[in-house]
């Protein structure tokens, strides 16, 4: 018997009607509509288990077929996916409205269709003509792309069963609904139920499925975040919609490494891969201006040179501002304290802004030393040497700690012609010494600033 119930996402309490406040745990707005299939049992009837005949097998005896991957025809996207698409996988592609989700998925459709794969592109947001117009801009008019304008999931499932496509795109999950649920499209219940059905289809028919989901700046309530655990891979667009570059990052990937990024440029004819991201992130840099430092960071599996900008200015306010874009604000506060206490450079009564150029978000602590250098440079209003690259995590004692994969970071710096690399002393080995740049090993922040004549 099918029924709907409202289940508290916090404590699991369920009720047949919606309530604003959960009577069990007292939380507000935690009840989400779910569909359930229940079987009435007679009194004394025993519960039957293991109806699917699943049995435990030895892990060593499990056959590994080695998931065969298919290239998407877009190198940077293949990299993010860990080498291509795995048949029957369910992927979520999220980002702010207007960032390029529909563009990228349509480009993938075209590339796969060119190789003869049947593709079904379902749109709940645009008309078939609108998609056709976009396809013309992208020169994506391969013959085996089918388009379906629908928002009723049962209609979509029926169409997919009939057409048996190799690739299915659902754009976007927030517009889809199942009539068996009473809640509105875009609500957590609908979004989850639709995804669960698409998951079933993907796995039973080996249909590779892309689900497009909108994320707003505030992280939308019913947004893709509630689906992350259900899908095989989650790709998010980073960067700002008004700039021409786009970064696609894998935040979850059951078939490859996470945190891998792909860099694209939005052009007149769609998203184009950026072949040399380091050069790209450093373009537009003015090394003769104070507050600009270059870090060699690791994104996924590859090293990337990125510019860190800092700006310090006397504040008109009683409480100075500390603003970080693309960098953790709390880490910035910590680094400012380290700079003051361990290197004697104070930012008191100054507003401080730190920005990672190119819209990238850096999470690894290996960027600490570069942030410190940029801050010191801006506070002192002295530009840093144009050919210096900084690598290293900074501790509370002002010590510079070694980081993973120093060697490939140095190699990337050398490749782009940076002559001086300031590295943690403990990270310097025989291998790194031959990596091609002039290394300046340091133990402390003070030493690092001395090495570049900024202290």
Q: Which of Mg ion, ligand TYD, none does residue 138 bind to, with CB < 5 to 8 Å depending on kind?
A: ligand TYD
Shortest Å distance, C-beta 273 to ligand TYD:
14
Beta bridge pairs of residue 305 = 296
Residues 275-314 contacting ligand TYD, CB under 6 A: none
Q: Which of ligand TYD, Mg ion, none does residue 266 bind to, with CB < 5 to 8 Å depending on kind?
A: ligand TYD
3 — phi, psi (to 5°)?
Answer: -150, 160
366 contact partners, CB below 8 Å, separation of at least 6: 295, 296, 297, 298, 391, 392, 393, 403, 404, 409
What tokens were used for 369?
């030393």
Q: Where are the alpha helices (DSSP H) in 353-454?
A: 368-380, 406-415, 430-433, 445-451
Q: Which of ligand TYD, Mg ion, none does residue 321 bind to, with CB < 5 to 8 Å depending on kind?
A: none
In this chain, which of 97, 116, 344, 397 binds ligand TYD, going by CB under 6 A? 97
270 contact partners, CB below 8 Å, separation of at least 6: 103, 106, 107, 137, 138, 140
**434 touches ligand TYD by CB under 6 A:** no
**75 touches ligand TYD by CB under 6 A:** no
**124 touches ligand TYD by CB under 6 A:** no
The full DSSP string for 321-374 is: -EEEESS-HHHHHHHHHHHHHHH----TTEEEEEEETTS----SGGGHHHHHHH
Per-residue contact string for residues 228-267; x = within reach of ligand TYD by CB under 6 A:
--------------------------------------x-
Q: Which of Mg ion, ligand TYD, none does residue 103 bind to, with CB < 5 to 8 Å depending on kind?
A: ligand TYD
The helix (H) or strand (E) run that includes residue 160 is helix 153-163
Q: Which of Mg ion, ligand TYD, none does residue 431 bind to, with CB < 5 to 8 Å depending on kind?
A: none
**CA pair distance 9, 52, nearest whole angstrom:** 29
Q: Where on the chain is the footprint of Mg ion (CB under 5 A)? A: 102
Q: Give CA separation, 259 vs 160, 185, 236, 302, 307, in Å.
A: 32, 31, 10, 10, 19
Residues 126-165 contacting ligand TYD, CB under 6 A: 134, 137-138
**324 touches ligand TYD by CB under 6 A:** no
Q: Are 281 and 358 in contact (CB under 8 A)?
A: yes
Q: Which of Mg ion, ligand TYD, none does residue 269 bind to, with CB < 5 to 8 Å depending on kind?
A: ligand TYD
**CA pair distance 422, 375, nearest whole angstrom:** 16
> Given the complex with ligand TYD, which of 225 and 285 has the nearer CB atom?
225
Shortest Å distance, C-beta 99 to Mg ion:
9
Nearest one of 90, 85, 37, 36 to 198, comparing CA atoms: 90
Segment lying near ligand TYD (by CB under 6 A), choices 23-31, 202-210, 221-229, 268-276: 268-276
**269 touches ligand TYD by CB under 6 A:** yes
Q: Are 306 and 356 in contact (CB under 8 A)?
A: yes
Q: Which of Mg ion, ligand TYD, none does residue 137 bind to, with CB < 5 to 8 Å depending on kind?
A: ligand TYD
**122 touches ligand TYD by CB under 6 A:** no
Contacting positions for ligand TYD (CB under 6 A): 95, 97-103, 134, 137-138, 266, 268-270
């Amino acid at each position: 018997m099918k029924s709907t119930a409202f289940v508290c996402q916090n404590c699991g309490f369920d009720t047949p009607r919606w309530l604003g406040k959960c009577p069990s745990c007292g939380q507000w707005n935690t009840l989400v509509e779910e569909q359930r299939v229940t079987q009435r049992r007679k009194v004394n009837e025993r519960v039957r288990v293991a109806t699917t005949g699943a049995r435990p097998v030895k892990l060593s005896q499990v056959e590994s077929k080695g998931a065969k991957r298919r290239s998407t025809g877009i190198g940077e996207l293949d990299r993010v996916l860990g080498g291509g698409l795995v048949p029957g996988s369910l992927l979520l592609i999220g980002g702010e409205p207007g960032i390029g989700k529909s563009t990228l998925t349509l480009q993938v459709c075209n590339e796969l269709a060119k190789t003869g794969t049947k593709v079904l592109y379902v749109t709940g947001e645009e008309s078939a003509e609108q998609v056709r117009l976009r396809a013309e801009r992208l020169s994506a008019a391969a013959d085996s792309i089918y388009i379906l304008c629908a928002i009723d999931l049962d209609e979509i499932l029926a169409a997919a069963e009939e057409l048996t496509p190799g690739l299915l795109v659902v754009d976007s999950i927030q517009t889809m609904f199942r009539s068996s649920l009473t809640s509105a499209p875009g609500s957590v219940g609908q979004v989850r139920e639709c995804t669960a059905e698409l998951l079933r289809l993907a796995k039973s028919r080996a249909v590779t499925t892309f689900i497009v989901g909108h994320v707003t700046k505030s992280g939308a309530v019913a947004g893709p975040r509630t689906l992350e655990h259900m899908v095989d891979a989650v790709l998010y667009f980073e960067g700002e919609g008004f700039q021409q570059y786009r970064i696609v990052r894998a935040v979850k990937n059951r078939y490859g490494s996470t945190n891998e990024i792909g860099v694209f440029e939005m052009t007149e004819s769609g998203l184009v891969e950026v072949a040399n991201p380091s050069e790209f992130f450093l373009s537009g840099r003015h090394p003769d201006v104070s507050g600009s430092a270059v870090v060699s960071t690791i994104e996924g599996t590859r090293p990337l040179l990125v510019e860190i900008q800092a700006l310090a200015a006397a504040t008109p306010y009683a409480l100075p501002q500390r603003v970080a874009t693309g960098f953790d604000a709390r880490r910035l506060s910590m680094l400012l304290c380290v700079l003051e206490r361990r290197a004697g450079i104070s930012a008191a009564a100054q507003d401080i802004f730190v920005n990672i150029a190119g819209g990238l978000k850096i999470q690894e602590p290996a960027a600490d030393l570069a942030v410190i250098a940029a801050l010191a440079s801006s506070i002192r209003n002295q530009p840093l040497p144009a050919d210096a690259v900084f690598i290293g995590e900074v501790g509370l004692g002002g010590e510079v700690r070694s980081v993973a994969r120093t060697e490939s970071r140095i190699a990337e710096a050398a490749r782009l012609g940076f002559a001086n690399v300031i590295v943690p002393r403990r990270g310097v080995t025989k291998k790194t010494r031959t990596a091609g740049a002039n290394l300046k090993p340091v133990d402390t922040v003070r030493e690092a600033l001395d090495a570049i004549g900024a202290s």
